[in-house]
Amino acid sequence: MFILKRGRYILLLMLVQSFEFIQTKQCNIPEDNEDIDWDNFPEAWYEVLHTFDPVMDKDVFGAKVHNFTKTSTGVNLIVTELHKNFPPQTFVVHDTRKKAGIYRLAQNDEPALEASQTLTPEGGRSGNAAKIDDALFSGDLLISSDEENYIIYAFCSYADEWVVWVFFPSMNPTIQQLTLMWNKLMEKGINVQLYLSESVKHSENFMGFNR
């Protein structure tokens, strides 16, 4: 069972906030990227950081991506998302590889993904979150990972702003893992402010999620 100690959370928060950044004014998916060996990919990753976009600011409180399966066209995976007042939402995502590090999501995955990511704590639907999902399905998705310490999902919103979701092998990433992730963002020219997932800040609400 996962229990995030108070001191550990404070340290993580201070570390995230300590990174200096210059907000990128234009969102451009880099051309030169690395391939990922999905055959040797870890079983599960947990969302720890995000750009506080309309999907992650209140609609989704935590996410787990798991069961990665390499296919002839790319990779399939299962996504489990946590919500405040509703049971976890689980759906399958099919990512089609365009070239190294660049993927497109299958259009038939959109209804299930949007049904989860636009769900609000009050039981309604977020139009702003739907716009983010529409941009995700309409453009390229950058997936960057060293296959051990972090996995970064990054794409451009319709407002030409970066949307970044960062996952780690646990909800307690080490300083080394955070530094490696941040260095990769800088290498890709992705300069954004990142925020802690609610599942990290309020781990008492998500017991048993990190297993």
**What is the chain's pLDDT, residue by residue, as a tens digit (211 residues)?**
233 444 455 455 555 555 545 454 579 999 999 999 998 888 899 999 999 899 987 778 889 999 999 999 999 999 999 988 888 999 999 999 999 999 999 999 999 999 999 998 888 899 999 999 999 999 999 999 999 999 999 999 999 999 999 999 988 899 899 999 999 999 999 999 898 888 887 766 666 677 6
What is the pTM (predicted TM-score) of this model? Answer: 0.88
112 touches 91 (CB < 8 A) = yes
Place of tokens 């995700």: 136
pLDDT of residue 156: 97
Structure-token pair, residue 54 = 């309309």
What domains are defined for the chain?
Answer: 6-206 (2.40.128.20)
Structure-token pair, residue 89 = 């939402």
pLDDT of residue 77: 96
> Closest by alpha carbon to 99, among 38, 151, 141?
141
pLDDT of residue 6: 46
Place of tokens 């002839």: 72
Give how far the C-alpha of residue 204 lies from the chain's centroid of Cα atoms, to the nearest Å.
Answer: 21
Rounded distance, CA 170 to CA 19, Å? Answer: 21
pLDDT of residue 204: 65
pLDDT of residue 59: 77
Question: Which residues 6+ apart lie within 8 Å of 190 measured at CB?
Answer: 24, 154, 162, 164
